[in-house]
Amino acid sequence: MNAQAAPTAAVLIIGDEILSGRTRDVNLNTIARFLAALGIDLMEARTVGDRQAQIVGALNALRQAYDYVLTTGGIGPTHDDITADAVGAAFGVAVAEHPEALAILERRYGPGEFNAARRRMARIPEGGSLIANPATDAPGFQIGNVFVMAGVPKIMEAMLQDVAPRLRTGAVVHARTIRVVGVGESAIAEVLRAAAEARPDLSYGSYPFGFGTDGEVGTQLVIRGRERAEVDAAEHDLSQELRYLGIDIAVT
């Protein structure tokens, strides 16, 4: 699927609250769909705690391996928000108050309201540029191929709008889903394997549903590829084969 050299990306989720189980991350899925719409292949995601060595290690591994890294979490005003310092350490640059970020925050908070904690949110690694935050003003930042965003989902989503124009896009991956109801994966495994082998440029996935519950059971077959006509043809062929076997399907 990478014949057209689609850009690649990784996500780095930063926050003890995800690893402790207190908070269920929703940002990864939002970013995954955002990147998919731009034709960028999300290759990997990591979740680390609020520990500088861990953030630095993960960030340096990911930014060298992929075209882009998008991070979430740890850029607020409190002592446990260490992402800016960790990113600075990863790049080997100092972290300092960014004049434009200071101006944005000064505008937001009245005189006397702009305390030390809030000033902290203007600290950006040297060489970084700001990512606008239309939700609550305090900006994220980009340095090199790394995009540093807030962890609060509504704010993170708002920041993505200023990230999008900075990314090189690829051909979008088209997907067709064949919904097979009443039989499990095993019943269609051989047909699916043969179909996948016949079209090595496409990806064929099989995702069972309903198992382990009392509800309807079945399997979603997902065909993905960057050539829409090929995906459509593959869906047509596989649907015919399944119908020929007497299996009930619905295509979406």
Among 181, 126, 150, 127, smallest CA distance to 76 is for 150
Residues 24-53 that bind a copy of itself (CB under 8 A): 24-26, 28-29, 32-36, 42-50
Compute the least distance from the CB of residue 143 to a copy of itself, in Å: 23
Compute the least distance from the CB of residue 94 to a copy of itself, in Å: 21
Compute the least distance from the CB of residue 44 to a copy of itself, in Å: 6
The runs of H, that is alpha helices, within the chain are: 16-19, 27-37, 52-65, 83-91, 99-108, 116-120, 153-163, 185-198, 228-244
Is residue 162 within 8 Å of 172, Cβ to Cβ? no
Residues 177-196 that bind a copy of itself (CB under 8 A): 184-190, 192-193, 196
Among 181, 208, 230, 241, binds a copy of itself (CB under 8 A): 208
Using the rule CB under 8 A, is 129 a contact of a copy of itself? no
Among 181, 192, 175, smallest CA distance to 231 is for 175
Using the rule CB under 8 A, is 237 a contact of a copy of itself? no
Q: Which is nearer to a copy of itself, 7 or 208 (CB)?
A: 208
Among 94, 117, 164, 198, binds a copy of itself (CB under 8 A): 117
Among 74, 80, 72, smallest CA distance to 154 is for 72
